[in-house]
A and B are shown apart, each in its own frame.
Chain A
Amino acid sequence: MIRRDFSERDIHMALDGELPGDERAAYDAWLDANPEMKARSVRYTADRAALRAAFAGVLDEPVPARLQKIVLGEAPVRVEASRSRWWLAAAAAAMLAVGGLGGYFAGIDRIGQEDPAEDQLAEQAIAAHVIYAAEKRHAVEVPASDKDHLQTWLSNRVGLKLVAPDLTANGFQLIGGRLLPAGDGKAAMLLYEDDKGERISLFVTAESTENAKGTYASAQDGPQAVYWLDKGYGCAVVGSLPREQLAVVAKSAYGQLLAGLAT
């Protein structure tokens, strides 16, 4: 038998059944001698099992009648088919991949799950909201009437390119903002109000949150925070709105904040 050097490429080939049978024993020996490669092989094997499991159920689903009808000739065949729907989904998927919002949407489904570690960002954001949203005359340092200055000032202080999201579609008008401490750094707080006087705030910081963890505090009366942490910045939307409504506003705010950061 000719001995050859194996590489990571062989992990894929072995996994996909493409490794020649007479190389298998030598490959296994190589894996045993290379713990790092072995660990990689184990992870990829598990990922493949998870992938298969995730889609296994599709084969058991009943075939939609509209698909059968096409083959059986019971539905008129369109020569130029309408692709509007699925390509829109493809486009959306591409957008999610680019914007990194995939993780966000994945995460929001985990609402309510307990994470034992503390999350400073959410707690700071909630604390700031409790104090300042209750203020009638001194809620903000710089009013929305001076929006350009507000954005420039907070951007410079916090160290992020901040664009105050436009939440009018959600019924909220910008009141203004203020600068706050956040951990060892600074945070920008933007306050919004709807026509009933309900207030929500947006808390944004450039503080790296690598060590921070999500928190699920006990459910009591009080504002909730929808927050998102990423490398180099974190933001939270805080308010006492119904959970679904707050989530909708938060999504809108995130989208605009991200777009602003990218400019």
Chain B
Amino acid sequence: MNEKKAAILGEIPRLRRYARSLLRDRDAADDLVQDCLERALVRLDNWQTGESPRRWLFTIMHHLFIDQMRKVNRRGEAAMLPLEAGEALAQPAEQVESIASREIIDALQAISPDRRAALVMVAIEGFSYAEAANILGVPAGTLMSRIARGREELRGLLDDTARRRAIRIVEK
């Protein structure tokens, strides 16, 4: 196994975490990682020596994700999806989550994909603003405003969740 492949293997856990934060559903997230790895292997020659494998892979995966989200929005497919499909996919695949984790994961899913990606990149993945802006392909100012708005939106949703009763089953 060559060095490049070994480096890619080592990044899979991080890629999986990023994908999970973008998509929530475990299988769907791994599908995204799979697409990313396949694209990376096809383009192995494009990977410049000295470039961090993490940055290179995250860039590939981010483009896959954002392209697809844009297509979905453009075609309005989201709105046409049957309720049952959304429901099935919204359920985490046998994950044990605390209520606090579940709430924040739900809230994260509800903020816009651009803001979600920016926030996750910095707050969870630990990239610097410069690195994250580079991976996402946006100016640093845009990245900062996405992070700020993303955080505000996330906090607003969590406040809503706390305030709202959402739904309960009442037994009488």
Contacts and interface: CB of A to CB of B under 8 A. Distances in A.
Interface of A: 8-9, 12-13, 15-18, 43-44, 47-48, 50-55, 58-59, 61, 63-64, 66-68, 70-73, 77-79, 81-83, 85-98, 101-113, 115, 119, 122-123, 126, 209, 212-220, 222-230, 243, 246-247, 251-252, 255
B12 A52 contact: no
23 contacts: A8-B148, A9-B144, A9-B148, A16-B128, A47-B158, A54-B104, A55-B124, A70-B34, A71-B12, A87-B71, A89-B24, A90-B65, A92-B86, A94-B113, A96-B90, A98-B78, A106-B103, A110-B166, A123-B170, A123-B172, A217-B170, A225-B169, A228-B166
Contacts of B64: 83
A12 B155 contact: no
Given A54-B97, A90-B72, A93-B24, A67 B30 contact: yes
Contact of B166 (A52, A63, A68, A103): A103
A194 B111 CA distance: 39
Contacts of B169: 108, 111-112, 216, 224-226, 243, 246-247
A243 B170 CA distance: 10
Contacts of B21: 51, 55
Interface of B: 1, 5, 8-9, 12-14, 16-17, 19-25, 27-35, 37-39, 41-42, 64-65, 68-69, 71-73, 77-79, 81, 83, 85-87, 89-91, 97, 99-113, 119-120, 122-124, 128-129, 144, 147-148, 151, 154-155, 158, 160-161, 164-172
B109 A93 contact: yes
B87 A105 contact: yes
Looking at B24, B35, B144, which has the most chain A CB atoms within 10 Å of its CB? B35
B110 A51 contact: no
B95 to A, nearest CB: 8
Nearest to A105: B90
B23 A115 contact: no
A89 B25 contact: yes
Contact of B20 (A52, A53, A55): A55
Given A44-B151, A50-B101, 15 more contacts: A16-B128, A72-B9, A81-B38, A86-B23, A90-B23, A90-B113, A93-B90, A97-B111, A103-B160, A103-B166, A107-B166, A111-B168, A224-B169, A227-B170, A255-B83
| Secondary structure call for the B interface | helix
Nearest to A48: B123
A77 B32 CA distance: 14
B73 A216 contact: no
Contacts of B144: 9, 12-13
A98 B79 CA distance: 8
A235 to B, nearest CB: 10
Contacts of B22: 90
A103 B83 contact: no
